[in-house]
Structure 1
Amino acid sequence: MQVGDIFATPLPMNKYGAVKVMNIINHSYLLSITSYIGEQIPTIESKGIHHILITESIADGVEKPLFEWTNGRVPRELIFIGNVSLTADEIGVESNIYAGEWIKECGIDVYYKWREETDPIGFELEMKSQIEEADAYARKHSVSKPKKMMDDQLFWEIISLLDWRKEDEKEIIEAAVKELYTFTAWKIRHFEETLSYKLFLLDTEEHAKEMGEYRFSQQDQHFSPDLFLYARCAVVARGKEVFEDVLSNPSKMIKDTEFETLLSLSSEAYYLKMGKEFEYESGCSYETFSNKEGWSNNL
């Protein structure tokens, strides 16, 4: 494996795309997705093979190339087509997005963009159908594990954009919404999945007992499941260090504080992106009492 190697990737509908290796650190590889998509396996001379796929933010007009770190062996379905030296602009590119193990679907974003451009209505129906099928399967088999999530470092970078200098909650999340909006619709879903899972992890009796005035108690019936959800939102909204500290030590749960607005971050970004309501069901529900292990003594 060398920097500059280009691999053809199989895509749905009998299409092919291509990815290029931009950097190698130990057994991790920084990949760029090229703009090539076609019915033939590309060659080094194919149109689009030397252009990195980009997404453009309507909010600020900034074009962002798609770079993702991956690791593991090259999937057998990928086809090596040659090596092209990095251009001056490509040398030293960076990314904080980790896509997990190297899989054959690593070039799927060019297919999504092509489908959105050529058949937006059909593509939306196709994606909605896949989501509904996955959700139905999860409900049928009582699955309580997350689906595909966003890279953890990227998730917390978005959360760090919450501006606590603002007084209005909508203004607090505004910068984070605009940043999340620059990603694809699927990445927004991955963010929502990550948020849901972190809220799910905090959904325990021990944390509920430490939320303040309206804490959970066997003797006192004033506990509110909704307020506990909003209290968990406040923990996640305060960032990685606070979240990890509270998760491992329930006694450090933030007292008498809530931040319900965090739940609207994904839907706000998705509406800006797609112009429609955000419909998504996560693998792990963030609703109170969903974490059965966390409430094993009361369920």
Structure 2
Amino acid sequence: MNSKKSVQVGDIFATPLPMNKYGAVKVMDIIDRSYLLGITSYIDEQIPTIESKGIHQILITESIADGLEKPLFEWVDGKLPKELIFIGNIPLTTDEIEIESNIYAGKWSKECGIDVYYKWREETDPQGFKLEMQKKIEEADAYARRNKIVKPKKMMNDQVFWDIISLLDWSKEDEEAIVEAAIKELSTFTAWKIRHFEETLSYKLFLLDTEEHAKEMGEYCFSEQNQAFSPDLFLYARCAVVARGQKVFEDILSNPKKMLKNTEFEILLSLSSEAYYLKKEKELEYISGYSYETFSNREGWPEEL
């Protein structure tokens, strides 16, 4: 939907929200391919315009860290989501230029303005919102039960797996460039070996799928009070752990308190499919024995399941 070729400081984008509503975010700062977004207080069924009152006000939310109410600013990485709608540019005020934030929200997605929806739901229908969040957890639970382990499948040799992961090039800024060498190396293996890699990756993500690890993931950690917990974001946070290599993975697996904070690496999930396509020029069709979806590890979520 957006027609922007390049994002600039001061750009305002409308964001799609549940229940046929729209929010808006403002770009406050840009460093390389990272963007500091101000989540505005706008929420309505109409796409905002540059004159809409709410886009000139940053959403005030309660900080999970210290319980204080603060304006919501967060860093995101990656490309401008195609679902966002450019509505104009409002130059930063003197106060806005000085804004700093250490909140990292991961990959820039169409859900970047979701916090205004959560706050609106809490204020207008707290009981309904609580039920909505419970339903999401129950749906994830049902998915996990449907995809529970029946029989683990053949995995790749562990050292070979970690050798491939070690090819991730963290000197690159673009995620696709980071994984390029690993994808090329994996594509030199047989089609079945690529499936074995996928099974190994799924298993390691499955092992990290525990309540204790989810409680230590940072701003959007799992807790009864934090209704903004996202099963998808926790999956991407687990991807970041595996992507950092064997030593980091084993250290965090044994000590959840060392879980990486406020970071994600969703693109790791595409390694097998990209390598398979590079080799066979067709899509990878494979269902792993271990499900990496959040709440799949029944032993890791005893109270939730």
Shorter-chain TM band: 0.5 to 0.7
Q: How does 1:193-208 map to 2 (within 5 A)?
A: 193-208=199-214
Q: How does 1:158-169 map to 2 (within 5 A)?
A: 158-169=164-175
Confirm or deny that 1:248 pairs with 2:244.
Answer: no
Return the alpha-carbon distance in structure 2 between the equivalents of residues 249 and 161 of structure 1. 25
Match for residue 146 of structure 1? 152
Note the residue ranges of structure 1 that are not aligned, 5 or more in a row: 1-138
Note the residue ranges of structure 2 that are not aligned, 5 or more in a row: 1-144
State the 1:146 CA deviation: 2.6
Match for residue 232 of structure 1? 238
Return the alpha-carbon distance in structure 2 between the equivalents of residues 285 and 203 of structure 1. 10
The one of 148, 171, 184 aligned to 2:190 = 184
Q: How does 1:49-60 map to 2 (within 5 A)?
A: none
One-letter amino acid matched to 2:298: K
Return the alpha-carbon distance in structure 1 between the equivalents of residues 148 and 274 of structure 2. 29
Return the alpha-carbon distance in structure 2 between the equivalents of residues 218 and 142 of structure 1. 25
Q: How does 1:111-126 map to 2 (within 5 A)?
A: none
Change (3 A) 1:230 1:214: same
State the 1:219 CA deviation: 1.9
Return the alpha-carbon distance in structure 1 between the equivalents of residues 210 and 281 of structure 2. 36
One-letter amino acid matched to 1:293: E
Return the alpha-carbon distance in structure 2 between the equivalents of residues 164 and 285 of structure 1. 27
Return the alpha-carbon distance in structure 2 between the equivalents of residues 258 and 285 of structure 1. 18
Return the alpha-carbon distance in structure 1 between the equivalents of residues 284 and 217 of structure 2. 30
Return the alpha-carbon distance in structure 1 between the equivalents of residues 152 and 304 of structure 2. 23
Change (3 A) 1:223 1:262: same
Change (3 A) 1:221 1:262: same
Change (3 A) 1:181 1:217: same
Return the alpha-carbon distance in structure 1 between the equivalents of residues 163 and 241 of structure 2. 15
State the 1:171 CA deviation: 0.5
- RMSD of Structure 2 on Structure 1 (CA): 1.5
Match for residue 113 of structure 2? none
State the 1:143 CA deviation: 2.9
Change (3 A) 1:261 1:298: same
Match for residue 129 of structure 2? none
Return the alpha-carbon distance in structure 2 between the equivalents of residues 266 and 175 of structure 1. 13
1:227-260 residue CA offsets vs partner (Å, 9 max, x unmatched): 0000000000000000000000000000000000
Normalised TM-score (structure 2):
0.51
Return the alpha-carbon distance in structure 2 between the equivalents of residues 273 and 184 of structure 1. 9
Return the alpha-carbon distance in structure 2 between the equivalents of residues 173 and 142 of structure 1. 29
Moved more, 140-149 or 237-246: 140-149
Percent same amino acid at aligned positions? 79
State the 1:147 CA deviation: 0.7
Return the alpha-carbon distance in structure 1 between the equivalents of residues 174 and 152 of structure 2. 31
The one of 168, 172, 183 aligned to 2:178 = 172
Change (3 A) 1:286 1:184: same
Count of residue pairs the alignment pairs up: 161
The one of 210, 224, 229 aligned to 1:223 = 229
Match for residue 220 of structure 2? 214
Confirm or deny that 1:271 pairs with 2:277.
Answer: yes
Q: How does 1:47-86 map to 2 (within 5 A)?
A: none
Change (3 A) 1:145 1:237: farther
Return the alpha-carbon distance in structure 2 between the equivalents of residues 141 and 170 of structure 1. 29
Change (3 A) 1:298 1:188: same
Change (3 A) 1:201 1:274: same
Change (3 A) 1:207 1:239: same
State the 1:142 CA deviation: 4.6
Return the alpha-carbon distance in structure 1 between the equivalents of residues 297 and 157 of structure 2. 22
Change (3 A) 1:203 1:141: closer
Return the alpha-carbon distance in structure 2 between the equivalents of residues 141 and 291 of structure 1. 10
Quick check: which has more Rg, 1 or 2? 1
Return the alpha-carbon distance in structure 2 between the equivalents of residues 169 and 277 of structure 1. 21
Normalised TM-score (structure 1):
0.52
